[in-house]
Structure 1
């Protein structure tokens, strides 16, 4: 029996549940998950391997319209994922308010001429169940496999989904990555994403999307404690009080939550030094975006 391996690009609207899906499919956390749309900024690679196949999931940012700055980077990341993937997995959420935007995503996937499958996500949201069959009929008319379910309950559709992906992935002599690997992110990148996730989860008011996390120093070979020095970079001065909080309470909450998760992942004690810095207009500053890794390859 030939082995199958390749890249599976996750495509969908912001907040469709792509990051949650890939985390549960792989069984490990490889992408940040919040209820806020557009939290995925860079391509995240999660790797699923079994005896028949290896699917390298590429969780791309949701589709945005932009001609410059950070949003242009997000748009380019999505385009790169589509062009570089062997198979596309379209994730459609039943709570998407605009049918036209669903149609737009479908048209983009079809135009790529790549093999693809579709998942209708969040079907456990009872107030939107009437939409499931409408979306399913629309997708089924395109003669592609359509799965329904909730990203957090992947056991209900995981096996048939992987079978459909296996049928569409190219044949290879061996897996693309070592069988023990579940993500291609390094720990420095992972730490940055964890801290950014905790910022989004902690800030319940208007979320400053001009927020990024920069790891200044990551020291893991000087004793039993991993030392991480990081800064939360903001685009506007009036976002600082929101992130810092009264007497620093919000920043401490973000730091504590980040440290606990990093300790769980690393299996070691973590010292986290976290500061806030404002750099006005960084979202359109090419040099800063390059430093943060927000430049399309």
Structure 2
């Protein structure tokens, strides 16, 4: 029996949803940092097995939004509720139910989609901490399954896939077997640049930066890809910090992003980066659409 279906990965910010997706795929598709709200868009990752095609949808962290950008991110996540065959609510193992968890649980009321509680980061806790947490969530919602995992080490992921298979409908492969994502190469490149901004800068700068890939040109004969991208920020002061003294910060961002791109695209990368000010773009509906964040 061959099965296929869509699995939405949901949860509050910073519980390891993207790490889980990467752990399942065995490839770094979604960017990862320790900063909350790293993921801004829905990212589709495809995992193939002889008996199934699992189509995972990684989503931004669900939280109480305060800006148009945050509202667009939460909407991207909650839209997944209706589009999934199974929902994975990812929580941090050993942690109490927090305000954002309660917000998500309330929004799931009345939704008939089977839901798994995935307790992530079990490598960081004592196992006896799991049972009280599982009981607390069981009282809040009728989960179909509760699965402890470590997205970082891979522990529990084979069990998660086996249990998911039981809930998927029979069906064909939706995507070619060699395909890992439906995201464009430009999107993947832009995300890799944005990840380095998140890792190398602080305070408001990571959340005020939007990356747009202006050109992506492949030279197959030379196994070379030429990429030109613009980092958009909200203030002149942010632009100065991103460029750095004598361009040092921009060079470091480009250097680190290029290493990841060369590994992912299996080609040499020539990368050009520019910084542009787009005043208060996180509050501007037109700019949000232009940068790929429609509210």
TM-score scaled to structure 1, two decimals?
0.91
Q: Which residue of 1 aligns with 2:262?
A: 263
Q: How many residues align?
A: 292
Residues 102 and 65 (structure 1 numbering): CA distance in 2 closer, same or farther, change over 3 Å? closer
Q: Which residue of 2 aligns with 1:295?
A: 294
Residues 135 and 74 (structure 1 numbering): CA distance in 2 closer, same or farther, change over 3 Å? same
The worse-fitting range, judged by mean Cα deviation, of 113-122 and 141-150 is 141-150
Verify: 1:148 aligned to 2:173, yes or no: no
Q: Which residue of 1 aligns with 2:207?
A: 209
TM-score scaled to structure 2, two decimals?
0.92
Separation in structure 2 between the aligned mates of residue 150 and residue 222 of structure 1, nearest angstrom? 39
Q: Which residue of 1 aligns with 2:177?
A: 179
Separation in structure 2 between the aligned mates of residue 287 and residue 56 of structure 1, nearest angstrom? 31
Verify: 1:243 aligned to 2:247, yes or no: no
Q: Which residue of 2 aligns with 1:218?
A: 216
Aligned pairs for 1:87-102 within 5 A: 87-94=86-93, 99-102=98-101
Offset at residue 51 of structure 1 (A): 1.1
Q: Which residue of 2 aligns with 1:121?
A: 120
CA shift digits 1:179-208 (9 cap, x unpaired):
111111111111001100111112255543
Offset at residue 94 of structure 1 (A): 3.3
Query: CA RMSD for the aligned pairs?
Result: 2.1
Q: Which residue of 2 aligns with 1:165?
A: 164
1:247 alignment partner, SS class: helix
Q: Is the 8 A contact 2:115 2:143 kept in 1?
A: no
CA shift digits 1:44-79 (9 cap, x unpaired):
000011011111110111113337521121121012
1:112 alignment partner, SS class: coil
Offset at residue 254 of structure 1 (A): 0.4
Listed as ranges, the gaps of 5+ residues in structure 2 are none
Residues 67 and 256 (structure 1 numbering): CA distance in 2 closer, same or farther, change over 3 Å? closer
